[in-house]
Homo-oligomer: A and B are copies of this chain.
């Protein structure tokens, strides 16, 4: 996995895991990889994965069974969508449309 952007790696990973959940690749109640495992897979320090998991846990997307591992919450999909949909429609979309106007990009020809 490549981490080029300015966004913190642990948040980029969080986004990535949310995508996996939304797309159905990872199912609710399913166990997710341990911090060590995922760290190796992504070529990243386990501490970084730990931060990702803490972040997702505090957002109720995953939960922890002590001594066992992390699991995807039953309502993970709904939680993620609810949180992001409003944020996107109300906060980000207006900025995006305004920006496209400034750059002379026609939304209809680009939103296929």
Select the residue from A96, A102, A108 with max chain B CB neighbours within 10 A: A102
Cβ of A93 under 8 Å from chain B: yes
Q: Which residues of B contact A104 (CB under 8 A)?
A: 81, 85
Which residues of A in the span 1-32 have a Cβ within 8 Å of any Cβ on B? Answer: 3, 9, 19, 22-23
Q: Does A85 lie within 8 Å of B105, measured CB to CB?
A: yes
Count of residues in A whose CB is under 8 Å from the partner chain? 28
Chain A 35-49: CB-based contact to B (< 8 A → 1; otherwise 0): 000000000010000
Known contacts A85-B104, A89-B110; 16 additional CB pairs below 8 A are: A22-B102, A23-B102, A45-B67, A81-B103, A81-B104, A84-B99, A84-B103, A88-B99, A88-B100, A88-B105, A89-B105, A92-B96, A107-B110, A107-B111, A107-B112, A108-B111
A interface list, Cβ under 8 A from B: 3, 9, 19, 22-23, 45, 66-67, 81, 84-85, 88-89, 92-93, 96-97, 99-100, 102-105, 107-108, 110-112
